[in-house]
Amino acid sequence: MLTCWALSLIFSAIASASQTVFRNPSPAYDDGLFTPMEDMNALSVTKFTVLEHPAFPNYNVRIKKSAVCNDTVKSYTGYIDIEARHIFFYFFESRNDPDTDDVIFWTNGGPGCSSSLGLFMELGPCRIPDENGTSFHPESWNSNANIFFVDQPIGVGFSYADYGEAVGTTEEAAKDIAAFIFVFFEHFTKFKGRSFHMTGESYGGRYVPVFAAEVYDQNTKLSAAGYTPINLTSVMIGNGITDFYHQMSSSFDMQCTAASIPPILDIASCVHMKQMIPRCEQRLKESCVDMFDAINCAAAATFCHDHIQAPFWLSERNPYDISQPCDAEGLSENLCYPVTAHIRSYLSRPDVRDALGVDPAVPAKFLSCAPTVGTAFRAQLDGFRLTQDYVGALLERGVRVLIYVGTYDWICNWVGNERWTLALEWSGQAEFAAEPLHPWAVGNDFAKGRAGLARSAKGLTFATVEAAGHMVPYDKPKEALDLVQRWLSGEGF
């Protein structure tokens, strides 16, 4: 689901009659060299072109043209084939100038949720607002950028494995994503050298820093071998879970103070929660942070959840937007958003799957989030790894980082995200922490009201989006587009 780690505690054949795969003369091999395909216009609407690269002998990329949204944007779909594992992706060219605009990689969270939610609900070139199918989305992030949406890891959305293979850690998933990115850029060379931004939300706060680090480290190796490196410019994380330790206590602030809206829990519950915070933090620090002990870390997380987060579920509030109601049934059925049912219905249609090139091995009923993937990651306690250290390492190497947060989100809230950015250990920590929060507005037009607050220094930016929930581009599309456009342009906040 679109969840942080706390919620997780609660709860083939390539060829077919409908999709013919062929191996294009490009890439052609000659003594270890290959000819890149170059022109995306040469891709077929009905057949996959298979891209290969000698640096990644176990990886292929199948890609075709696909009319995913409307005729205002060129779109492509395909699979990253890692032997018997297959990861589905969408790619949309920029509405502005695809030959010069930046490239964005987007992933949803979960772990186990399809990026079709980001595509069709939040920031893609079309949305699926009802049972009638897609509609034009004017505030899409591809207004000025080329963008990927990837169903990762294996088992998510339209991704699948031939023999039940699974991935259980973010570090494992990162290797597949980094290889895919390099193969794609090596074939479609017009994107070489472009600024590349890795982006995601929710559990993307864990995914994106690790994925970006893998791309950066891969660049070093491939550059030494004579290949063009990926121009990894920044990472952007929306309402993410990056530092579980600092995020935990913020549940109290969101429920028992006016950090976002007036307190929603009774006084007795809040008093108990406040008394439990020191014990929770001590146990997490001893068992998960200072020394990782799987058994004790899991016990500490359970203790913290039971005493600090469990009371929220009795409130029947939407964990992704605490200003709205949502009972347990609405949460389990549609993540508290009926629009997700329309997306699932649309992506279960045979005609849509045929147009996208979905492999027949994928189950007929589309699932927005795959429980088996979430279970595999929880079994490895993946969410309790120190992801913030990846962020610090990226900043030290000149990769900019944007942490943006909707103020109405409870599950990965702004209080916890601000805390970990202030506590992050890196060479710019003192300068960043010394910066006061200041208002920002869409188009810098404060006459129309402020969009949120921001703090920036030395390549790190923290920004809130007022009255937005967990899915900022869904709740505040104009503010989200302005945010990403000023980030891509380097304008800052």
Positions marked catalytic? 202, 409, 470
Residue 72 CB neighbours (<10 A): 13
**How is residue 156 written in tokens?**
């998510």
How far, in Å, CA of 456 to CA of 432, rounded? 6
Signed CA dihedral, 356, 360, 366, 367: sign only? negative
Name the pairing type of β-strands 195-202 and 102-107: parallel
How far, in Å, CA of 235 to CA of 244, rounded? 19
Which residue type occupies 81? D
Per DSSP, 278 falls in state H
**How is residue 21 written in tokens?**
């795969």
**How is residue 438 written in tokens?**
């200041």
**Nearest of 115, 58, 87 to residue 173 by alpha carbon:** 87
| Contact predicate 353/127, CB 8 Å | no
Per DSSP, 369 falls in state B
Per DSSP, 324 falls in state E
What are the two backbone dihedrals, phi and then psi, of residue 443, each rounded to the nearest 5 degrees? 65, 20
Cross-strand pairs, 103: 146, 196
**How is residue 231 written in tokens?**
């121009």
What are the two backbone dihedrals, phi and then psi, of residue 60, each rounded to the nearest 5 degrees? -125, 155
Rounded to the nearest 10°, the torsion over CA 193, 40, 13, 85 is 10
Cross-strand pairs, 402: 236, 461
Residues 6+ apart with CB under 8 A from 8: 111, 374, 377, 378, 383
Angle at 372 between CA 321 and CA 379, to 5 degrees: 90
How far, in Å, CA of 438 to CA of 459, rounded? 16
How far, in Å, CA of 311 to CA of 151, rounded? 33
Helix boundaries (H) for 27-133: 116-117
Distinct helix (H) and strand (E) counts, the chain: 17, 20
Cross-strand pairs, 92: 75, 147
